[in-house]
């Protein structure tokens, strides 16, 4: 699979310290980079435009305001699919995801995966910068999602993942109910429902060194509420008695 058939979608909001550096790490592999900026007041969008002017493999979508991770990815997915990408990758801008891991995700898709997830919670995955309490909360949230939704994915909240283009096109990402990081859980669940081959590859997840985290309590509450609602609907539907016709 040629490297120019791969597009990495990176949503940004106030990432001026990181953007040029993460772009360099992505472009090193020969991939295309699509930046989706949500009207960053710190000038991130201007840096994105400068990169796009200087480098043909960089393009930018400007959105007028901060509207959520899910809608940002939906806009990026639409553009990447329209441009003929064969593999489309989600990636954060803050170096929590190592650009050196990108070829492994691409290879997993080339080898037959519909979705390849860079996972913290399969053997070999690590979160070395996290205190014990954060690890417990994150693992507990993923266990809750697996249990409620009936999926095997161990890191359903992971934001580092690659999609085969025709598989991504089958997912209802445009109509996703989650706008924050619950979007990642929702897409993992929908891929499972569709019978897709979802694989997890171990990664080392690092905390950002520059800039400010966008993870707030509202994003966590949204994800937990939606997982609970989806899970209850699934369990109630499964327990309903069936009646014979006629």
CATH value at residue 215: 3.90.550.10
User: Quick check: is 160 in a domain?
Assistant: yes
User: Quick check: is 7 in a domain?
Assistant: yes
Number of domains in the chain: 1
Grade residue 242 by pLDDT with cuts at 50, 70 and 90.
Answer: very low
Whether the per-residue pLDDT at 53 is higher than 70: the answer is: yes
Who contacts 83 (Cβ-Cβ below 8 Å, separation ≥6)?
A: 7, 32
Mean pLDDT value across the chain = 90
User: Quick check: is 244 in a domain?
Assistant: no
Q: What per-residue confidence (pLDDT) applies to 222?
A: 78
CB 148 within 8 A of CB 239: no
Q: What per-residue confidence (pLDDT) applies to 77?
A: 98
Grade residue 214 by pLDDT with cuts at 50, 70 and 90.
Answer: low
What is the extent of the structural domain holding 151? 3-238
For the ranges 67-81, 117-131, 217-231, which has the lowest average pLDDT?
217-231
């Amino acid at each position: 699979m040629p490297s120019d058939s791969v597009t990495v979608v990176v949503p940004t909001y106030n990432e001026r310290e990181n953007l040029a550096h993460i772009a360099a790490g992505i472009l090193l592999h020969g991939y295309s980079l699509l930046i989706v900026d949500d009207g960053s007041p710190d000038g991130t969008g201007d840096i994105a435009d400068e990169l796009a002017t200087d480098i043909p493999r960089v393009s930018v979508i400007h959105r007028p305001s901060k509207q959520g991770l899910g809608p940002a990815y939906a806009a990026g997915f639409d553009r990447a699919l329209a441009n003929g990408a064969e593999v489309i990758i989600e990636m954060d801008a803050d170096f929590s995801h190592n650009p050196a891991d990108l070829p492994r995700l691409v290879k997993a898709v080339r080898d037959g995966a519909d979705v390849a997830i860079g996972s913290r919670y399969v053997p070999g995955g690590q979160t070395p910068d996290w205190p014990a309490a954060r690890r417990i909360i994150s693992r507990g949230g993923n266990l809750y999602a697996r249990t409620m939704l009936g999926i095997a994915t161990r890191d359903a909240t992971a934001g580092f993942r690659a999609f085969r283009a025709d598989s991504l096109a089958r997912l209802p990402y445009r109509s996703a109910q989650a706008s924050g990081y619950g979007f990642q859980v929702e897409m993992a669940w929908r891929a499972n429902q569709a019978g897709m081959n979802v694989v997890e590859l171990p990664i080392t997840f690092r905390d950002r060194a520059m800039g400010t985290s966008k993870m707030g309590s509202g994003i966590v509450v949204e994800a937990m509420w939606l997982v609970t609602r989806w899970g209850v609907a699934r369990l109630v539907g499964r327990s309903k008695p069936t009646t014979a016709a006629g």
